[in-house]
Amino acid sequence: MARARISDVAAAAGVSVTTVSLVMNDVESRISEETRTRVREAARAIGYAPSSVARGLRTQQTRTVGLISDQIATTPFAGDMLAGAQDAARENGYLVFLIDTGGDSAIEADAIRALTAQQVDALIYACMWHQVVPAPAGLPAGAVFLDCRPENGGYRSVVPDDRAGGAAAVRELVAAGHRRIAYIDTDDTPIASNLRHEGYLEVLAEHGIPVDPALHVQGETTARGGRAAFEQLLELPEEQRPTAIFCFNDRMAAGVYIAAHRRGLDIPRDLSIVGYDDQQLVAAEQDPPLTTIALPHYDMGRWAMEVALGVRAEGDEDATHLMECPVIRRDSVGPPPAQVAKPNRRRASHTERPPEAATDR
Amino acid sequence: MARARISDVAAAAGVSVTTVSLVMNDVESRISEETRTRVREAARAIGYAPSSVARGLRTQQTRTVGLISDQIATTPFAGDMLAGAQDAARENGYLVFLIDTGGDSAIEADAIRALTAQQVDALIYACMWHQVVPAPAGLPAGAVFLDCRPENGGYRSVVPDDRAGGAAAVRELVAAGHRRIAYIDTDDTPIASNLRHEGYLEVLAEHGIPVDPALHVQGETTARGGRAAFEQLLELPEEQRPTAIFCFNDRMAAGVYIAAHRRGLDIPRDLSIVGYDDQQLVAAEQDPPLTTIALPHYDMGRWAMEVALGVRAEGDEDATHLMECPVIRRDSVGPPPAQVAKPNRRRASHTERPPEAATDR
DNA sequence: TTGAAAGCGCTAACAC
DNA sequence: GTGTTAGCGCTTTCAA
């Protein structure tokens, strides 16, 4: 059977289409309660549902949003951003068109065209990880950047506060008593890695811990890369080795776990580790479960959608919103290995690790 | 500036709207080449793009597809299905509305209503893993089930061939010389786990390998669950222990790795392992990389979209398509440990484990 | 409290 | 080869 139209309902209820429209849209005013119920029943009886297409044409509002991403929907990294965005869209009665471009700019341009032709009411441009990107040509004003920033501004955006996150990670380690803290870094993703590194340096400075360049190593952002970087650290003379490691991400931390376990090192007894991302299937599945810094994907997705929809008032048309990365405490952080075993291990202990360090938690 | 309309282009080019429409839609017939280019230029000059909404209303075809899923977009499990579906949609000029319901049936019902109101041309109903589900009320005929089957039929569907996949996994192990092969199973996901188990039994039977119930253990589908199940296996008398393990999924296999490494067991020298899923961030990141059976997510997604769009002819309106799960050979399978080391390792085999046991399963 | 009618932007049947 | 026009299904102004 063909779709029921508003005129069918009108005929069935013995009223005009105007009345049906008024009833279906819950326009307060006029219309007696009796007519109301008559219309509603007729509608239900013939299974009528208004056509969003016709309504969209008439009102020039489609209650539809476009979400263009490089790959968030199809990779395991940042799906929660979608969840946040979707939830916000649904709560406000919007449907979302999702287009993963795979990073292909031709597809991206087509996507913008197609979404514009669809007259979406809002547009979100999302990346799978924090980066600074050129704003694609033709991107409508009012679009919101999610997990990325337009390099020349002009749009609102939301990204994780990686600097504060890096600081929080290191603070966690310092609070446990560590002073020799390595940072296993990467150069694959410059923005995030630089910011986290800044946070690392900031906390060392805060506590008067000298920076040892030998404790800053790099690798690719995989378990293999983390493992290789860790092995580099193990080549240091024993007293120079770290007692704790802050890893750029959880995958790299997983590599450290593998190497540590193979050498019989116990986590956290012999080595404390903090990761980053709180990545599903990685962080919590380690043994012991990994303490890490969570990327606020869900909240960023929700923020972006609410701002794009105009549901959340954000003063500035051209500002970057930094979202906090919470510490997820699990079991990979403990105090440094007891040093009584190596009484003569270093210089005067007050320079090495002031007892006060234990108290600043 | 407001959106340009077709009449603006017509005026600018000094032709009628019909002509513009014909040109924009590349309708061969009539229209001189000269007029054509004039129209095209006018359109480009004023930045005209046809409104999909108006076109949708007029033609009653929106070139839009709905994809309702439980959680595939927001979890790290099956994102490739989306990639396959999206690619197929894009290639055919369709845009996709994505709705993750989180498994909430009220949201699901709303989603079906909203998508119907949007007059989507096709609908895909997808699950994050292979299961049999009741078809939601109101689901339009012609919808396609992706990675799930409607319990009472009535719709086309595509699911992985888990039975053949299970068989392939075990065959891999048998080919390497193993005879004592355990199956670390789960009861969390009945359909897939039963099917894979059937494949396991099938191959044992094929090779006349007796079935040992002690080698069939269960756990939850996490690294922790896999680890616990493996430890149960290690409690068996030495000569009864498996030399190879087929794990229900890669996460459980990861748990086996952890326990094995902690005990100093080398993979694959002391123990061979085959997983299932070829899960990103899990399978390939193990050390050594895990041999596993891939779930054909991308191809299933593409299949579902093509069938839903009517681009791929599928005879039966009510059939389940089984998609092959390829073996991904990596480095976790090797020959069983040499048995010369324990010449008297088992007693008379017929008392220890009567061959008839193979038949009573 | 209700209805008639215009018109959103487009396509396509039909006329020229 | 090109133009006129009806109408897709709805909302909304205006009149009654």
Task: Report the alpha-carbon distance of residue B113 to residue B105 in Å, rounded.
Answer: 12
The pLDDT value recorded for residue A262 is: 87
Q: Residues A23-50: pLDDT tens digits?
A: 999 886 678 888 999 999 999 999 999 9
3-state secondary structure chain B: CCCCCHHHHHHHHCCCHHHHHHHHCCCCCCCCHHHHHHHHHHHHHCCCCCCHHHHHHHHCCCCEEEEEECCCCCCCCCHHHHHHHHHHHHHCCCEEEEEECCCCHHHHHHHHHHHHHCCCCEEEEEEEEEEEECCCCCCCCCCEEEEEEECCCCCEEEEECHHHHHHHHHHHHHHCCCCCEEEEECCCCHHHHHHHHHHHHHHHHHCCCCCCHHHEEECCCCHHHHHHHHHHHHCCCHHHCCCEEEECCHHHHHHHHHHHHHCCCCCCCCCEEEEEECCCCCCCCCCCCCEEEECCHHHHHHHHHHHHHCCCCCCCCCCEEEECCCEECCCCCCCCCCCCCCCCCCCCHHHHCCHHHHCCC
Task: Report whether pLDDT(A360) > 90.
Answer: no
How far is A117 from chain B, CA to nearest CA, in Å? 5
Closest CA to A280 of A83, A79, A129: A79
Judge: A76–B280 Cβ closer than 8 Å, yes or no.
Answer: yes
Task: Report the alpha-carbon distance of residue A92 to residue B258 in Å, rounded.
Answer: 45
Judge: B95–A75 Cβ closer than 8 Å, yes or no.
Answer: no
A127 touches chain B (CB under 8 A): no
Q: Residues A77-93: pLDDT tens digits?
A: 999 999 999 999 999 99
Which nucleotide is nearest to B19 if distance is taken from CA to C1'? D2
Which nucleotide is nearest to B13 if distance is taken from CA to C1'? D2
Tell me the mean pLDDT in the region A139-154.
96
Q: Which amino acid is at B159?
A: V
Q: Which amino acid is at A196?
A: R
Judge: B99–A95 Cβ closer than 8 Å, yes or no.
Answer: yes
**Predicted model pTM:** 0.92
The rounded mean pLDDT for chain A is 91
* A320-323/A244-247 β-pairing: unpaired
Question: What b/e sequence results for B252-266 when a residue is b if at least 16 CB atoms lie within 10 Å of its CB, and e otherwise?
Answer: bbbbbbbbbbeeebe
Rg (CA), chain A: 27
Residues listed for chain A: 361
Q: Treating both helix axes as pointing N-terminal to C-terminal, what angle do B52-59 and A52-59 enclose, rounded to 10 degrees?
A: 130
A282 touches chain B (CB under 8 A): yes
Which nucleotide is nearest to A19 if distance is taken from CA to C1'? C2
Residue A251: alpha-carbon gap to chain centroid: 16
Judge: A95–B116 Cβ closer than 8 Å, yes or no.
Answer: no
The pLDDT value recorded for residue A339 is: 62
Q: Token pair of A310, please? A: 């105009």
Sign of the four-CA dihedral B246, B250, B251, B254: positive
> Which band of pLDDT confidence, cut at 50, 70 and 90, is reported for residue A269?
very high
> Which band of pLDDT confidence, cut at 50, 70 and 90, is reported for residue A63?
very high
Q: Token pair of A287, please? A: 């043994």
The pLDDT value recorded for residue B1 is: 61
Domain A163-295+326-345 classification at class level? alpha beta
Task: Report the alpha-carbon distance of residue B316 to residue B322 in Å, rounded.
Answer: 13
Q: Is the CB of A22 under 7 A from strand D?
A: yes
Residue A165 neighbours by CB under 8 Å, 6+ apart: A195, A196, A199, A276, A293, A324, A325
- Cβ neighbours of B119 in A, within 8 Å: 3, 51-53
Domain extent listing, chain A: 6-50, 64-160+299-323, 163-295+326-345
The pLDDT value recorded for residue B341 is: 44
Q: Looking at chain A from residue 208 to 247, which residues have their Cβ under 8 Å from any Cβ of chain B? A: 222-224, 227
Nearest CA in chain B to A141: B1
Task: Report whether pLDDT(A353) > 70.
Answer: no
Residues 255-274 of A with CB under 7 A from strand D: none
The pLDDT value recorded for residue A359 is: 35
Judge: B98–A77 Cβ closer than 8 Å, yes or no.
Answer: no
From the list B49, B227, B261, the residue facing A117 with the nearest CB is: B49
From the list A3, A49, A56, the residue facing B53 with the nearest CB is: A56
pLDDT cut 90: percent of chain A above it: 85
Is it true that B64-160+299-323 and B163-295+326-345 share their CATH fold? yes
Task: Report whether pLDDT(A168) > 60.
Answer: yes
Location of structure tokens 């085959």: B274
Burial of B306 (0-12, 13-18, 19+ CB in 10 A): buried
- Cβ neighbours of B76 in A, within 8 Å: 76-77, 79, 280-281
The pLDDT value recorded for residue A1 is: 62
Say how far A38 CA is from C13 C1', in Å.
38
Say how far B4 CA is from C8 C1', in Å.
13
Q: Is the CB of B35 under 7 A from strand D?
A: yes
Say how far B119 CA is from D3 C1', in Å.
32
The pLDDT value recorded for residue A315 is: 67
Q: Which residues pair with B273 in a beta bridge?
A: B245
Nearest CA in chain A to B62: A53
**Among A59, A67, A70, A74, the residue to mutate for chain B (most B Cβ within 10 A):** A74
Spatial contact of A133 and A190, defined as CB atoms under 8 Å apart: no
3-state secondary structure chain A: CCCCCHHHHHHHHCCCHHHHHHHHCCCCCCCCHHHHHHHHHHHHHHCCCCCHHHHHHHHCCCCEEEEEECCCCCCCCCHHHHHHHHHHHHHCCCEEEEEECCCCHHHHHHHHHHHHHCCCCEEEEEEEEEEEECCCCCCCCCCEEEEEEECCCCCEEEEECHHHHHHHHHHHHHHCCCCCEEEEECCCCHHHHHHHHHHHHHHHHHCCCCCCHHHEEECCCCHHHHHHHHHHHHCCCHHHCCCEEEECCHHHHHHHHHHHHHCCCCCCCCCEEEEEECCCCCCCCCCCCCEEEECCHHHHHHHHHHHHHCCCCCCCCCCEEEECCCEECCCCCCCCCCCCCCCCCCCCHHHHCCHHHHHCC
Judge: B99–A97 Cβ closer than 8 Å, yes or no.
Answer: no
Side-chain-side CA neighbours of residue B18 (13 Å): 3
The pLDDT value recorded for residue B315 is: 67
B178 touches chain A (CB under 8 A): no
From the list B62, B83, B113, the residue facing A53 with the nearest CB is: B62
The pLDDT value recorded for residue B28 is: 65
Task: Report the alpha-carbon distance of residue B298 to residue B147 in Å, rounded.
Answer: 11
Footprint of strand C on the protein (CB under 7 A): A 14-19, 22, 29-32, 34-35, 54, 57-58, 60; B 2-3, 5-7, 17-18, 21, 24-25, 48, 50-51, 54-55, 57-59
Q: Token pair of A154, please? A: 């002009």
Chain A and chain B share a number of CB contacts under 8 A equal to 149
Going from the C-alpha of A180 to that of each of A164, A337, B181, the distances in angstroms are 20, 11, 46
Protein fold of A64-160+299-323: Rossmann fold (3.40.50)
Give me the average pLDDT of each 10-residue run along chain B (361 residues).
Answer: 88 93 84 89 94 97 97 92 97 97 96 98 97 96 96 96 98 98 93 97 98 97 96 95 98 96 93 97 95 98 97 80 97 86 39 35 26
Judge: A285–B254 Cβ closer than 8 Å, yes or no.
Answer: yes
B24 touches chain A (CB under 8 A): no
> Which band of pLDDT confidence, cut at 50, 70 and 90, is reported for residue A273?
very high
B128 touches chain A (CB under 8 A): no
Q: Is the CB of B51 under 7 A from strand D?
A: no
Location of structure tokens 């999206």: B86
From the list B76, B90, B119, the residue facing A76 with the nearest CB is: B76
Give the Cβ contact number of residue B60 at 10 Å: 13
Residues 53-82 of B with CB under 7 A from strand D: 54, 57-58, 60
Task: Report the alpha-carbon distance of residue A234 to residue A182 in Å, rounded.
Answer: 11
Phi, then psi, of B10 in degrees rounded to 5: -60, -45
Tell me the mean pLDDT in the region A115-123.
98
Say how far A51 CA is from D16 C1', in Å.
29
Residues 47-66 of A with CB under 7 A from strand D: 48, 50-51, 54-55, 57-59
The pLDDT value recorded for residue A343 is: 41
